């Protein structure tokens, strides 16, 4: 979502780094370009004005002008002020005086509210909580079915009563949650196509019964500034404690994520970065600011790796690498682990300077899927010893995986290069330059 903005800001910062000294005119010229980049990214005009005013006030100071690296100083200031705009620090969920923690999910239809409720339940379960989902969106029967399906997938119970009114249903659900020892209750409320009196009356009635510690408004980042308008609209009628921003993996310009905190005064607590049930992350303003400015997000990448990778299997793979016994069976296992971490493009964006370093290299999950299909089309013997794969075997593997023999050749070459790199590292040598990774290919960005 932030690719265009990141690239534009990267160009500005590259020019700043190249200057030995900065004048006020240099700062003004750079900030004009930053302003254009932010406005093109659909950031709220008032937010842009406030942000740039703070940056300029700090950037024309004596310390910056006399600094040995004034360009770096300005970039540091932009980074710090962007963190302030995004909310300073992560906003944790409330801690109730006595369980359960009650979370009310609100939002318009199509914002991803029901899916976000299930994602949040999975997140809390991963943190050691015993959550319960409550299907209180009685306006849309499909929402109940959807929540039940998602609840089954993640192993979280869903309280359902299709005949009851929403307030009575919530009251009964909370009673059962306390009786069954659930320490977190997530209530999926009704949505509408737009904010109206009926929606707000029902939300108010449910809220009165539930007495939630958290009211999380789910907004769709793909709607741009309309997402900010929706948040403001809800705030006019009801109290909101935090925001869940969905579809941040989309191809919209990203301005809503930058604007929402400052415009509404409410923190973004979670962000949805994909359609997978595990793709809901805590929102860290500092990490998001670093990603927007092309500085990467190594902490989140490490957390994803720790969650996805089995420690014992990782140690076994490392031992095989050290003994140069890593084969295509292990290669396939690594693909499986990598897929658990999320879309490749998202992972690459967390690497510092990835945009500038990779240039026009595309990272495509479909390519990764083709590599996996090719390896799965091989026999166990071929995976253990790829050297036996001759022309006829390549044609068979290609036919079995729906690819071409040249695709099989490419995978074998990539694996061979990976083996050479592992042997070089084991011998204490530097890795082979220009090593191609599976799923990466040259070409113009789509």
Taking Cα atoms as reference points, which of 138, 180, 120, 186 lies closest to residue 158?
186
Residues 277 and 417 in one domain: no
Domain holding 22, by residue range, is 3-86
* pLDDT of 424 over the 70 cut: no
258 within domain boundaries: yes
116 within domain boundaries: yes
Residues 110 and 189 in one domain: yes
* Nearest-angstrom CA–CA distance, 333 and 312: 13
Residues 119 and 242 in one domain: yes
Taking Cα atoms as reference points, which of 294, 292, 286 lies closest to residue 87?
286
The pLDDT, as a whole number, for residue 64 is 63
Residues 367 and 415 in one domain: yes
* Structural domain total, the chain: 3
Residues 70 and 117 in one domain: no
Which of the listed residues 258, 288, 318 is the one where a domain comes to its end?
A: 288
Which of the listed residues 86, 109, 127 is the one where a domain comes to its end?
A: 86
Residues 15 and 158 in one domain: no
Residues 141 and 269 in one domain: yes
The pLDDT, as a whole number, for residue 63 is 64
> What mean pLDDT comes out for the span 161-186?
94
321 within domain boundaries: yes
Indicate which CATH number applies to the domain containing 48. Answer: 1.20.120.140
- The 3-state secondary structure of the chain reads CCHHHHHHHHHHHHHHHCCCCCCHHHHHHHHHHHHHHHHHCCCCHHHHHHHHHHHHHHHCCHHHHCCCCHHHHHHHHHHHHHHHHHCCCCCCCCCCCCCCEEEEEEECCCCCHHHHHHHHHHHHHHCCCCEEEEEECCCCHHHHHHHHHHHHHHCCCEECCCCCCHHHHHHHHHHHHHHHCCCEEEEEECCCCCCCHHHHHHHHHHHHHHCCCEEEEEEEHHHCHHHHHHHHHHHHHCCCCEEEEECCCCCCCCHHHHHHHHHHCCCEEEEECCCCCCCEEECCHHHHHHHHCCCCCHHHHHHHHHHHCCHHHHHHHHHHHHCCCCCHHHHHHHHHHHHHCCCHHHHHHCCCCHHHHHCCEEECHHHHHHHHHHHHCCCHHHHHCHHHCCHHHHHHHHHHHCCCHHHHHHHHHHHHHHHHHHHHHHCCCCCCCCCCCCCEEECCCC
pLDDT tens digits, residue range 98-156?
A: 889 999 999 988 889 999 999 999 999 999 999 999 999 988 888 999 999 999 999 99
187 within domain boundaries: yes
Residues 114 and 52 in one domain: no
Band of pLDDT at residue 37, cut at 50, 70 and 90? confident
Which of the listed residues 241, 256, 288 is the one where a domain comes to its end?
A: 288
232 within domain boundaries: yes
295 within domain boundaries: no
Residues 373 and 276 in one domain: no
Indicate which CATH number applies to the domain containing 412. Answer: 1.10.260.30
Highest averaged pLDDT of the listed ranges 46-50, 170-174, 232-236, 249-253? 170-174
297 within domain boundaries: no
Band of pLDDT at residue 198, cut at 50, 70 and 90? confident
Residues 271 and 183 in one domain: yes
Band of pLDDT at residue 30, cut at 50, 70 and 90? confident
64 within domain boundaries: yes
Residues 337 and 389 in one domain: yes
Residues 123 and 267 in one domain: yes
Comparing 25 with 310, which gets the higher pLDDT? 25
């Amino acid at each position: 979502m932030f690719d265009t903005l990141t690239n534009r800001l990267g160009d500005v910062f590259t020019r700043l780094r190249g200057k030995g000294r900065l004048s006020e005119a240099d700062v003004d010229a750079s900030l004009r370009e930053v302003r254009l980049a932010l406005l093109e990214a659909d950031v709220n005009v008032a937010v842009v004005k406030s942000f740039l005013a703070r940056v300029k006030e700090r950037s024309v100071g004596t310390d910056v002008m006399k600094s040995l690296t004034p360009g770096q100083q300005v970039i540091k200031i932009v980074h710090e002020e962007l963190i302030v705009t995004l909310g300073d620090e992560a906003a944790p969920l409330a801690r109730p005086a006595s369980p359960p923690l009650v979370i009310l999910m609100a939002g318009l239809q199509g914002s991803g509210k029901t899916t976000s409720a299930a994602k949040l339940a999975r997140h809390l379960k991963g943190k050691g909580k015993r959550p319960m989902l409550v299907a209180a969106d009685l306006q849309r029967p499909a929402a109940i079915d959807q929540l039940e399906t998602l609840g089954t997938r993640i192993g979280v119970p869903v309280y359902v009563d299709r005949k009851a009114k929403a307030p009575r249903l919530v009251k009964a659900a909370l009673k059962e949650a306390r009786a069954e020892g659930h320490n977190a209750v997530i209530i999926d409320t009704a949505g509408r196509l737009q904010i109206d009196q009926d929606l707000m009356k029902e939300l108010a009635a449910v809220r009165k019964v539930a007495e939630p510690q958290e009211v999380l408004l789910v907004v769709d980042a793909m709607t741009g500034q309309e997402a900010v308008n929706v948040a403001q609209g809800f705030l006019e009628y009801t109290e909101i404690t935090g925001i869940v921003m969905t579809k941040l993996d989309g191809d919209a310009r990203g301005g809503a994520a930058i604007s929402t905190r400052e415009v509404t005064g409410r923190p973004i607590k979670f962000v949805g970065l994909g359609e997978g049930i595990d793709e809901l992350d805590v929102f860290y303003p500092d990490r998001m600011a670093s990603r927007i400015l092309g500085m990467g997000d190594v902490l989140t990448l490490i957390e994803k790796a720790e969650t996805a990778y089995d420690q014992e299997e990782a140690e076994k793979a490392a031992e095989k690498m050290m003994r140069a016994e890593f084969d295509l069976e292990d290669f396939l296992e690594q693909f499986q682990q990598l897929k658990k971490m999320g879309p490749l493009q998202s992972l690459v964006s967390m690497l510092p300077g990835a945009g500038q370093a990779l240039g026009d290299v595309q990272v495509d999950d479909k390519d990764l899927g083709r590599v996996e299909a090719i390896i799965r089309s091989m026999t166990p013997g071929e995976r253990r010893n790829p050297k036996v794969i001759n022309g006829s075997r390549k044609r068979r593997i290609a036919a079995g995986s729906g690819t071409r023999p040249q695709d099989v050749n490419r995978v074998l070459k990539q694996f061979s290069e990976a083996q050479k790199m592992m042997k070089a590292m084991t011998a204490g040598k530097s890795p082979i330059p220009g090593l191609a990774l599976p799923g990466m290919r040259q070409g113009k960005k789509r």
